[in-house]
Amino acid sequence: MPAFLIFSVFYIYPFFYTLFLSFFKGDAISYLEFVGFNNFKEILLYDKAWWRSMYNAGFITFWALTFQNILAFLLALGVDKAVRTQKFYRVVFFLLPILSEIIIGLLMRIFLLSDPGVLNHLLERLHLDFLKRDWLAPQSALLSCALVHCWKGFGWAFVIILAGLQSIPEELYEAARVDGANAFQSFLKITLPLMIPVFTLVVILTILGTMQAFAMILALTRGTGGLTEVPVMRIYNHLRTGQTCYACSEGVVLGLILVIVAFGMLKFSKFARQKYGL
Amino acid sequence: MIKRVIIIVFLFLFGCSAPKKEISSKKIIIWHWMTDRQGAFEELANKYKDLTGIEVEFKLFFPPDIYSQKVIAAARAGTLPDIFGVLGEKKMFASFIKAGYILNLAPFIKDWQERFIQQTLQVNTFKKGNIYGVEPGIYGIPIDSMNIQFLYNKRLFKKAGLNPNRPPKDFKEFIKYAKILKEKLRVNGFVCGWGEVWLIYCLVTEFAINIMGKDKFFDTLRGKVPYTDPEWIKVFSLFKEMRDAQILAPNIVTMINKEAEESFALGKAGFSFNGSWCINVYKKLNPDLEYGVFPLPAVSDKKGVKIWGGAGSSFVVNANSKNKTEAIKFLKWLTEPEQQKFLMEKTLNLPAVKIPLEEVSPILKEFLDDTGNLTHPNVWPLQEDSRVVEVINRGVQQIIMGLKTPEQVALEVQKAKERVLLTKRSQ
């Protein structure tokens, strides 16, 4: 009962209130006008900036799904075998995700800006001058956001994947060795299939987390004239300018998209597990 | 089991009930967001307590975004303090008034409203027939004033062989001087926090009023003049001109105002565009900075120049407070010339009331010189829809980044305007 009450007050009520407001126009302080599905129509059919922000978030998510998670998987594979230093690595890699997004954004801004140009200076010292550029310029700002996001976020995936790797019974590998399987075959036939549920979880969490990323990007680029604007940044800006109901509608649309993606991933995972007979 | 549930429900309901209202008979609670003024406010509160026996507590919430959210949440929960400020557009201010959270002060300030610089009170005034549907009245008390102007670094001027006492007289000269500074001293010509888009809109509207005049500008807001009009394209082209002259600081569109302030204060840029609050900021960042102030570098000499300004920060009285009378008395005292002078000297903000100019520091005086040419969206008869403003700001950022032409931006803004007009008509 207390759990239900807490859940109702902090989750169910805000959810339904947001949904309720999304059918209105106004600031929800003194002005509300029922507009039906107009806000949704506006977002889905006419708001090009919304879809641009979805593209930006999708781009960052793509990098997080590939670069970030592959890096996390490779590191987890390495650390899984390093029995003595495992705890140390776990702490080190998990430090970044627990740091404030705003702090990371501001620090990385100083690091990436052409003035003072910390990164460019480093590249120069390493004789990698061809890589020097304005990292927050329109052409590279979105990629910079994606890379910083991956750098900050790979610790989460690392910890989850490492836990998954450690839950695979050692006996399976021993049996495979007895049967003459080499390391690559063991990896392909044991590790990968048994990690499918873990990968599904990591993929879902990555998509949900990245599509909702906002604070770090705000501190890093302020949206770069729409080039690095992400959906939650738009919602935040609309809330600030008194377009509360429109912001609620954007929140509902984003939520629905994420729910659909998450369910799609779960279905895919179920299908993959059935295929491997897990 | 039932007993347990009742206890839990009881605890839940009373544990989560509205926080104890911060109202007592002899204590006035004030919420604000002004970090630079907290110390001075506390000193004034102590002085007021010594004079009247009434305790005044200034509670600081920062950053301003968080403060705004707190005020909105408190309004909904009915826990607003006796005195607070509303940040944001006048539309938001009007919403608070219409919801019954803010007291109309007009009947209470008749005998002391003359002390204010006229423009500072206008921002808090709703006239008869206003577009917001608010009952006519004065709903806020300005505690300081501000205006936004161009600044130039006098030392850099001297170094580049320019006359430090002669700022540019028009836009062409501004570009010319900025180029000279960049070429001779290798500093940025111009810096501004254009990652905070309101500063872009501020400059866009100032240029627009200068080029086309107020009437045509307001006709655009009414939908009678399209944004594709040649004069609007001229306004957007000015940003392209600045880009083409290569005078803008790199990453200017991602820069927050604090970064721009630092850049200018440390002599990394020759010109800046900033509000009068910068005096305090620059003093802290670089006490030796020598700079001057000049109004918008005019593009046209036919329509005159208007600059954004008026009330800096204002306080309102909670209409549901039990301490309304005490709150009004305190605001009356706070805006007396003596207290205003104290605030001005301590925080280096422009006063909201008339103070003899000989008592004002030279740099503050430079800002005060242009109070006759002030304008502000909050005193306009109508405001542009925020969806259109968003497209203008983003468009200008894209011109600066070289991604769009002024013509393309004008077309996009006009499309957004037509969409807004269509939606309004259909509703």
* Facing B253 at nearest CB: one of A25, A42, A225: A225
Nearest Cα neighbor of A206 from A161, A268, A271 is A161
The tokens for A215 are 């604070």
Nearest Cα neighbor of B378 from B199, B6, B126, B177 is B126
- Calculate what percentage of chain B has a pLDDT beyond 70: 94
The DSSP-derived string for B205-269 is HHHHHHHHHHHHHHHHHHTSS-TTSHHHHHHHHHHHHHHHTT-BPTTGGG--HHHHHHHHHTTSE
Name the pLDDT band for B2 (thresholds 50, 70, 90): low
CA distances from B250 to B38, B223, B274 (A): 34, 35, 18
The DSSP-derived string for B294-348 is E---BS-SSS---EEEEESSEEEEBTT-TTHHHHHHHHHHHTSHHHHHHHHHHH-
Report DSSP state, residue B353: B
| Interface residue A30 vs chain B (CB under 8 A) | yes
| In the predicted structure, residue B229 carries a pLDDT above the cut 50 | yes
Q: How far apart are CA A100 and CA B181, in angstroms?
A: 39
Q: How far apart are CA A118 and CA A121, in angstroms?
A: 5
Q: Do the beta carbons of residue B308 and residue B371 sit within 8 Å?
A: no
| Interface residue A4 vs chain B (CB under 8 A) | no
pLDDT score, position B16: 47
Q: Do the beta carbons of residue B221 and residue B384 sit within 8 Å?
A: yes
Higher pLDDT, B187 or B356: B187
Name the pLDDT band for A47 (thresholds 50, 70, 90): very high
| In the predicted structure, residue B19 carries a pLDDT above the cut 50 | no
pTM: 0.87
Render pLDDT for B270-300 as a digit per residue (tens, 0 to 9).
999 999 999 999 999 999 999 999 999 999 9
b/e per residue B251-261 (b: at least 16 CB within 10 A): bbbbbbbebbb
- A80, containing H or E segment: helix A69-81
Nearest Cα neighbor of B373 from B110, B148, B216, B101 is B148
Name the pLDDT band for A31 (thresholds 50, 70, 90): confident
| Interface residue A216 vs chain B (CB under 8 A) | no
| In the predicted structure, residue B21 carries a pLDDT above the cut 60 | no
Nearest Cα neighbor of B147 from B299, B312, B383, B264 is B312
State ipTM.
Answer: 0.85
Render pLDDT for B210-226 as a digit per residue (tens, 0 to 9).
999 999 999 999 999 99
pLDDT score, position B274: 96
Amino acid identity, position A152 = K
Least confident range from A108-122, B152-166, B323-337: namely A108-122
Chain CA centroid to CA B179, Å = 29
| In the predicted structure, residue B7 carries a pLDDT above the cut 60 | no
Nearest Cα neighbor of A203 from A250, A156, A149 is A156
Least confident range from A87-101, A247-261, B99-113, B301-315: namely A87-101
pLDDT score, position A3: 85
Instruction: Classify residue B195 as left (phi > 0), alpha (psi -120 to 50) or beta.
Output: alpha
Answer positive or negative: Cα dihedral of A98, A102, A105, A106: negative
Task: Determine whether the interchain pair B65/A240 forms a contact, defined as Cβ–Cβ distance below 8 Å.
Answer: yes
Render pLDDT for A179-238 as a digit per residue (tens, 0 to 9).
999 989 999 989 998 998 899 999 999 999 999 999 999 999 999 999 999 999 999 999
* Facing B95 at nearest CB: one of A9, A31, A134: A31
* Facing B92 at nearest CB: one of A134, A136, A242: A242
Name the pLDDT band for A242 (thresholds 50, 70, 90): confident
Pairing mode, strands B83-84 and B55-60: unpaired
Least confident range from A182-196, B189-203, B315-329, B398-412: namely A182-196
Calculate the average pLDDT of chain A: 90
| Interface residue A95 vs chain B (CB under 8 A) | no
pLDDT score, position A277: 65
Nearest Cα neighbor of B123 from B369, B375, B337, B386 is B375
pLDDT score, position B17: 46
Size of interface A-B (CB pairs under 8 A): 99
- Calculate what percentage of chain A has a pLDDT beyond 90: 65
pLDDT score, position A269: 81
Task: Determine whether the interchain pair B196/A222 forms a contact, defined as Cβ–Cβ distance below 8 Å.
Answer: yes
pLDDT score, position B6: 54
Name the pLDDT band for B55 (thresholds 50, 70, 90): very high
Mean per-residue pLDDT, B167-189: 96
Amino acid identity, position A66 = T
Name the pLDDT band for B27 (thresholds 50, 70, 90): very high
Mean per-residue pLDDT, A244-249: 94
Mean per-residue pLDDT, A119-145: 91
| In the predicted structure, residue B29 carries a pLDDT above the cut 90 | yes
Q: How far apart are CA B210 and CA B306, in angstroms?
A: 7
Least confident range from A259-268, B50-59, B354-363: namely B354-363
The class that CATH gives domain A48-275 is mainly alpha
Q: How far apart are CA A236 and CA A244, in angstroms?
A: 9
Q: How far apart are CA B194 and CA B202, in angstroms?
A: 10
Q: How far apart are CA B291 and CA B288, in angstroms?
A: 9
| In the predicted structure, residue A239 carries a pLDDT above the cut 50 | yes
Task: Determine whether the interchain pair B400/A25 forms a contact, defined as Cβ–Cβ distance below 8 Å.
Answer: no
Nearest Cα neighbor of B274 from B416, B179, B151 is B151
Higher pLDDT, A5 or B246: B246
Render pLDDT for A143-194 as a digit per residue (tens, 0 to 9).
999 999 999 999 999 999 999 999 999 999 999 999 999 989 999 989 998 9
Name the pLDDT band for A91 (thresholds 50, 70, 90): confident
Mean per-residue pLDDT, A45-66: 95
| Residue numbers in A near B378 (CB within 8 A) | none
Domains of chain B, earliest start first? 23-144+312-352 (3.40.190.10), 147-309+381-426 (3.40.190.10)
| In the predicted structure, residue B63 carries a pLDDT above the cut 70 | yes
Q: How far apart are CA B272 and CA B275, in angstroms?
A: 10
Task: Determine whether the interchain pair B99/A113 forms a contact, defined as Cβ–Cβ distance below 8 Å.
Answer: no
Render pLDDT for B343-399 as a digit per residue (tens, 0 to 9).
999 999 999 999 887 888 888 989 988 778 899 998 898 899 999 999 999 999 999
pLDDT score, position A82: 75
Task: Determine whether the interchain pair A5/B5 forms a contact, defined as Cβ–Cβ distance below 8 Å.
Answer: no
Pairing mode, strands B55-60 and B137-138: unpaired
**Closest alpha carbon within chain B to A47:** B416
* Facing B250 at nearest CB: one of A49, A134, A221: A134
